[in-house]
A and B are shown apart, each in its own frame.
Chain A
């Protein structure tokens, strides 16, 4: 590793932060959709949405390369029309991290929505609220601790993402090399002290996130 540790840390924060923002919006949206609607094939959709959590990251990376690479129609369209290149860029790392983080937000939010007393949602409806207001004023505020806990776990997962990121974005120091990738490089290069420092920082960040998530899940109204 030739880049200073601070650059790696900032890059990791940027990639994980943007990825979790995407996963949060998509995950809460998907959870609401699944919470409110009944349709045939619902459990299949649920399984597909949860798939990135159980698939090996390299399998995801392969899918993304095939889907977004320069030889794919979508990849060509993105590059020629919008001028966006996802392969070997930090934006590509964001996509990979967002996809692995998504199921954690989605599952956490769905469980939290299911925990909301349906009668409270009904109470809002008879008081004249439309579905959007029921969602914003009742469902989300009551499910908030669960949503936030899922989001924090998603952040930890995005921060530690390795396999899919490596395949899609590579491990370019200062451009796509996040903490997890830098640790691998340091160990390979025999830089044990650097590896130890990076491992320590990562472990500390994850412990803080887990403690915060556990505290949020215990929050109850007075």
Chain B
């Protein structure tokens, strides 16, 4: 997976203008975008998915130009083949688990059954999202996002809504899933523990800019990044 992002976006709200100037390139397969809330991570992710149009710049995924302000290219979200797991999962409340997972599939019952089995959702197929626990909801959101076979999976703070015990379990489950399907993923978090667990490439955002890019797999890199994070967050 190759992803090159170079975008600018000004978001104007009463009394405040937020300027995003994000620029990074990554080759996955696992990228952690780290930063405080309000640092521009979510806006960047929405721009990659096609849910928000940048003012300028370009987004290129695997040599496919998704957005290029200079040439007027803006591939609509539905054609980008990017999976998205929303922070609170955004499951369709009026549809059953099976209908949620199958929403992005075109009439292939076999694939749906496979997905429900892979994500241990067979028993829950006829339940509605409101009847599920936090962990079950996340499994539905993951299955739904992976169903159309996306080239890249985006996850917006996937563990923020879970309690700490469940969080550890879901991290492991997510890693297993992604390794099993081979889908590259890009994960947003403000929790250094996520960056530590996934140890991929880490892109750090601050005040609308990318301030650091680290490969956490190389020896000593996590310790260095951790020191910097510690200095920045005062938490680790």
| B224 close to chain A: CB less than 8 A | no
Which residues on the B side are within 8 Å of A120 (C-beta)? 90, 92-93
Which residues on the A side are within 8 Å of B103 (C-beta)? 124, 127, 129, 137
A222 to B127, CA, bound (A): 10
| A40 close to chain B: CB less than 8 A | no
| B83 close to chain A: CB less than 8 A | yes
**Quick one: which of B78, B82, B84, B94 contacts A129, CB cutoff 8 A?**
B78
Beta-carbon contact of B130 and A127 below 8 Å: no
| A138 close to chain B: CB less than 8 A | yes
Beta-carbon contact of B77 and A222 below 8 Å: no
**Quick one: which of A119, A130, A221, A222 contacts B78, CB cutoff 8 A?**
A130
Residue in B50, B104, B128 with the greatest tally of chain A CB atoms within 10 Å? B104
Beta-carbon contact of B78 and A126 below 8 Å: yes
Q: How many residues of chain A get a CB closer than 8 Å to chain B's CBs? A: 18
Which residues on the B side are within 8 Å of A127 (C-beta)? 78, 103-104, 144-145, 147-148
What's the least CB distance linking A118 to chain B, in Å? 9
Please provide the chain B residues from 60 to 76 with a CB less than 8 Å away from any CB of chain A in the complex: 76
**Quick one: which of B90, B130, B131, B148 contacts A117, CB cutoff 8 A?**
B90
Please provide the chain A residues from 116 to 148 with a CB less than 8 Å away from any CB of chain B in the complex: 117, 119-120, 122-130, 137-138, 141-142
A103 to B103, CA, bound (A): 34
A47 to B215, CA, bound (A): 57
**Quick one: which of A117, A123, A138 contacts B84, CB cutoff 8 A?**
A123
A-B residue pairs in contact (CB < 8 Å), sample of 10: A119-B90, A123-B91, A123-B92, A125-B78, A126-B51, A126-B80, A126-B82, A126-B145, A142-B93, A221-B94
A contact residues vs B (CB 8 Å cutoff): 117, 119-120, 122-130, 137-138, 141-142, 221-222
